[in-house]
Structure 1
Amino acid sequence: MRISFLHTMGSNEAVFGCAAMKAGWSADQIRHTVRADLRQAMEKTPAPGGDAHDLVHETLRALAVEADAVIVTCATLGPAVDTMQASSVPIIRADAALAAAAARAGNNLAVLCAVESSVAPNQALFAHYAAATGARVTVQLIPGVWALYQEGKQHAWMAACAQAACEAHAQGFDVVVYAHPWMAEAGESVGNACRPLHGVQAALDAVRV
């Protein structure tokens, strides 16, 4: 099975690529496309029917030609994915796959975010999927972690993410979620009892369904 990944951050290429190969895909079955311009276009004109949606649709159709599934790793592109007409192959939103998996996994969800602007969209997304199971959703911001990530302080941002996950578990949440794919690596240092779910694994699991 061939997977095409559509990223808007170059760093996500390694995150998803390594995870896919660990899960059994070979390098020649994986294709990465990085389009920061699509995120910028969606941030300027997020409403349906605009040029930004058309650009995303055009890109996804091109990727679908040589793939059995396309994974969109950037949540900002999600609304455009939702307005796209039927595709010849599955188009998987990593954030939506994560929200669905989290809603199935427990009753009290803590969604950990790094950026203030992502809190409200994640609350809406996870609440949408949780409505089907009756799960409760609380979105929490990890203070300062985005700045640490941007500054390249890997040890510090990973430690902050791991600590936030452990604290959420201690607060009584039975499912902890990392909202951003780049956080996934921090989960490796969290004990199995409170290891967070993340969109990297959720998206790859969705491809296999």
Structure 2
Amino acid sequence: MLIACLHTAESNIAIYEDAAKQLGLPAGSLHHHVRADLLFAAERAGGLTPDIEAETAAVLQRLAQDADAIVLNCSTLGPAALLAGKSAVPIVRADGVLAENAVKAGGKVTVLCTTETTVAPTTQLFKEAAKTTGAEIEIRLIDRAWVLFRAGEQEVYLARIAEAAEAAYREGAKTVVFAQASMTGAAALLGDEYARPMSGPTAALQAAMTAISAS
């Protein structure tokens, strides 16, 4: 089994490898492809443009030639999974799987984001998923968190996210979601009185494994 993961940050490789280990996947099951330039381009443009979407879809199609499944691990680029169309192998949109799982229990779902370019696609995705369960969706952008990430201030970045998650729970969220894989480590910083927020890597890999088994 070989799952190709398209990332836009090198640091997400370790997060996905940790998730793979937790799921019992053998070493070498993941192939990582990093295209940080695609996210940088979207940030400069203020969001996902048709050209960036088309380039992302082309990358997904190329990765599909040598893998059993593809995971698109960038919420900003997420819509490109649809543009990629049918391929020889399943293409899993990590934030799509996350949205489906997050709304299952209904209630108030607070989705935390750290980069502005992911707000629009994340809002559309989660609100669409919520139509089937009646969940109430709230999208929150954590102020200046992405500046910390880009500056390499990882500990402060994760601490800021943990604070936002605790605040969301205090304000009535039934489920708190981390929209981006880079946020995953913040879950360990929450107080014991709070539930662990949902994050995409493990769910995305599980979905890819299921898709491979079904194909």
**Which TM-score band (shorter chain)?**
0.7 to 0.9
Letter in 2 for 1:77: L
Instruction: Show the 5 A alignment for 1:155-166.
Output: 155-166=155-166
Q: Does 1:36 align with 2:36?
A: yes
Letter in 1 for 2:156: A
Relative to structure 1, the CA distance from residue 171 to residue 203 in structure 2 (aligned partners, 3 Å threshold; closer, same or farther) is: same
Secondary structure of 1:120's match? helix
Letter in 2 for 1:62: R
Distance between the aligned counterparts of 1:103 and 1:87, measured in 2? 28
Say whether the 8 Å CA contact 1:165–1:194 is kept in structure 2: no
Distance between the aligned counterparts of 2:118 and 2:35, measured in 1? 20
The structure 1 segments of at least 4 consecutive aligned residues displaced by more than 6 Å after TM superposition are none
Letter in 2 for 1:197: M
Deviation for aligned residue 1:103: 1.1
State the TM-score, normalizing by the size of structure 2.
0.86
Deviation for aligned residue 1:46: 4.4
Q: Which runs of 5+ in 1 are unaligned?
A: none
Q: Which runs of 5+ in 2 are unaligned?
A: 211-215
Secondary structure of 2:103's match? helix
Letter in 2 for 1:114: T
Instruction: Show the 5 A alignment for 1:70-149.
Output: 70-149=70-149
Distance between the aligned counterparts of 2:144 and 2:79, measured in 1? 27
Instruction: Show the 5 A alignment for 1:34-73.
Output: 34-40=34-40, 46=48, 48=50, 50=51, 52-73=52-73
Identity among equivalent positions (%) equals 40
Say whether the 8 Å CA contact 1:63–1:70 is kept in structure 2: yes
Secondary structure of 1:109's match? strand
Deviations 1:173-200 (A, max 9, x none): 1000111110001112223742100111
Say whether the 8 Å CA contact 1:166–1:194 is kept in structure 2: no
- Residues matched between the structures, number: 207
Letter in 2 for 1:85: G
Relative to structure 1, the CA distance from residue 129 to residue 46 in structure 2 (aligned partners, 3 Å threshold; closer, same or farther) is: same
